[in-house]
């Protein structure tokens, strides 16, 4: 019995340690950039691989953009009451028009018709009591590590839809695989010009999820991303048939309502939200609160959680958002965005809905609520599943165990008379083995 007891003691320590670390809120202390006051353009060029020739017009132009942005960063960070910090990143030498290419909704050149996103599904989740903090990333150990960099292509609508589906697959099956954003950019038609002209010129996450419901979606391995330079690419009919996953349908949440979004985030999984990201380029960390009330929706990201933290003596509620600008932006590719208790506490008018999720023929202006308009348009996939072709390749021992079956097994576990410990339902009861193992490894090996 001694070896078994030794193993048991190690296992109990592991569970206890992981539990304590998992329950501990991740620290997001606002760290100051080193020597920002003296940070030079030359140092920026070296760090981010720029090769401008000193003295050329291009060098002079880029250096001035850098200096203007550095001045902004210093101004934000000097205000001790600001709950977020700006920082040096790859956008420091970009013009506004160049940065706009990082946003996924593009203005349509056609006249108005009707709004695609108004076709919202009816039924809502039954409200349950919400915790103060909730974050899906611990149960999405693999999906949380997938980072997309859309480059100069306005493909946020596609990257957000794919990222949400990746997360839902892992929550339900305990495993996932990075899905092909290129498939969506190259193949999803946009005849109504909703959110733009299609491909790198913009569409909507709803259109992406509808296309996945009809055709499935290949893996990133099968069809890698090639639109970094802003080219849509051709829809390959052979790769189009190589589907890896799919959805049964998708749900749109009510406009400008916070409660349905929080309930969906807590009960279901990641949710695609549309925002005004015009002022996000230099965000480094903290709870972002710098959008005007009159937000212009122009970007799509994935909400993966919510929480509350005390910063500079004041409590700040927030949403946790996963962006598509690479893992080197913000808080490891994520942002925390200010959240209000009252839906109407921070509302304004989007006077350019065609630059967001609007379609030609829709209203010339719309009401948007929440910081950066985050409550205006929210959607998530339903019935996420792996393609039959993929499931057929799984060996019996490889077949993923769903979160539901893991929970049911935990409930059914009985204590034997000879057992030296008691089993019970706890926070890991719906963790499949892969999710628990990867979470344990992450928290026991990475600095906290």
Residue positions annotated with a catalytic role: 156, 299, 323
Residue 152 near residue 229 (C-beta atoms within 8 A):
yes
* C-alpha distances out from residue 149 to 229, 293, 324, 417, Å: 11, 28, 5, 55
The Cα 354–Cα 220 span in angstroms is 30
Which residue shows structure tokens 């950039």? 33
Q: How many residues comprise the chain? A: 448
The Cα 146–Cα 326 span in angstroms is 9
At residue 151, the 3 state secondary structure works out as coil
Residue 270 near residue 300 (C-beta atoms within 8 A):
no
Structure tokens at 310: 């005390």
Which is nearest to 368 in space by CA: 348, 352, 344, 353?
A: 348
The Cα 405–Cα 149 span in angstroms is 35
Q: Most distant CA pair in the chain: distance in Å?
A: 82
Question: DSSP H helical segments within 204-318, as ranges?
Answer: 205-215, 237-240, 258-267
Buried-state track 121-130, b at ≥16 Cβ within 10 A, e below 16: eeeeeeeeee
The Cα 377–Cα 21 span in angstroms is 34
The Cα 235–Cα 214 span in angstroms is 16
* C-alpha distances out from residue 13 to 6, 26, 306, 444, 445, Å: 11, 21, 29, 11, 15
Residue 165 near residue 381 (C-beta atoms within 8 A):
yes
Which residue shows structure tokens 């990133």? 220
Neighbours of 303 (CB within 10 A): 26
């Amino acid at each position: 019995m001694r070896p078994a007891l030794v193993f048991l003691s190690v296992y109990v320590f592991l569970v206890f340690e992981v539990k304590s670390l998992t329950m501990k809120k991740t620290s997001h202390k606002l760290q100051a950039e080193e020597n920002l006051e003296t940070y030079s353009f030359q140092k920026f060029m070296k760090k981010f691989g720029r090769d401008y020739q000193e003295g050329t017009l291009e060098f002079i132009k880029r250096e001035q953009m850098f200096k203007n942005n550095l001045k902004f960063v210093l101004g934000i960070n000097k205000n001790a009451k600001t709950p977020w910090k700006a920082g040096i990143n790859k956008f420091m030498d970009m013009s506004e028009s160049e940065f706009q290419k990082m946003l996924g909704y593009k203005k349509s050149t056609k006249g108005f018709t009707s709004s695609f996103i108004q076709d919202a599904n009816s039924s809502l989740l039954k409200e349950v009591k919400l915790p103060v903090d909730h974050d899906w990333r611990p149960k999405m150990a693999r999906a949380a590590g997938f980072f997309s960099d859309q480059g100069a292509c306005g493909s946020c609508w596609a990257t957000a839809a794919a990222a949400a589906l990746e997360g839902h697959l892992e929550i339900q099956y305990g495993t996932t695989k990075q899905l092909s954003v290129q498939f969506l950019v190259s193949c999803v038609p946009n005849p109504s010009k909703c959110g733009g002209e299609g491909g790198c010129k913009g569409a909507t996450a709803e259109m992406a999820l509808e296309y996945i419901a009809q055709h499935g979606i290949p893996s990133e391995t099968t069809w890698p991303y090639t639109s970094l330079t802003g080219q849509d690419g051709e829809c390959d009919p052979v790769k189009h048939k190589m589907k890896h996953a799919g959805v049964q349908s998708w749900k749109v949440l009510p406009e400008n309502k916070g409660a349905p979004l929080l309930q969906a985030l807590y009960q279901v999984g990641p949710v695609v939200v549309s925002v005004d990201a015009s002022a996000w380029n230099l965000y480094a960390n903290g709870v972002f609160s710098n959008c005007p009330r009159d937000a212009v929706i122009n970007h799509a990201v994935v909400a993966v959680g919510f929480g509350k933290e005390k910063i500079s003596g004041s409590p700040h509620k927030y949403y946790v958002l996963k962006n598509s600008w690479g893992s080197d932006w913000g808080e490891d590719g994520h942002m925390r965005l200010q959240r209000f208790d009252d839906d109407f506490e921070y509302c304004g008018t989007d006077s350019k809905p065609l630059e967001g999720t609007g379609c030609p023929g829709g209203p010339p202006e719309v009401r948007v609520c929440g910081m950066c308009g985050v409550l205006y348009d929210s959607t998530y996939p339903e019935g996420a599943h792996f393609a039959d072709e993929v499931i057929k390749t799984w060996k019996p021992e490889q077949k993923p165990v769903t979160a539901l079956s893991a929970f049911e097994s935990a409930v059914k576990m009985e204590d034997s008379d000879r057992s030296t410990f008691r089993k019970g339902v706890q926070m890991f009861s719906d963790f499949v083995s892969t999710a628990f193992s990867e979470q344990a490894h992450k928290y026991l090996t990475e600095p906290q």
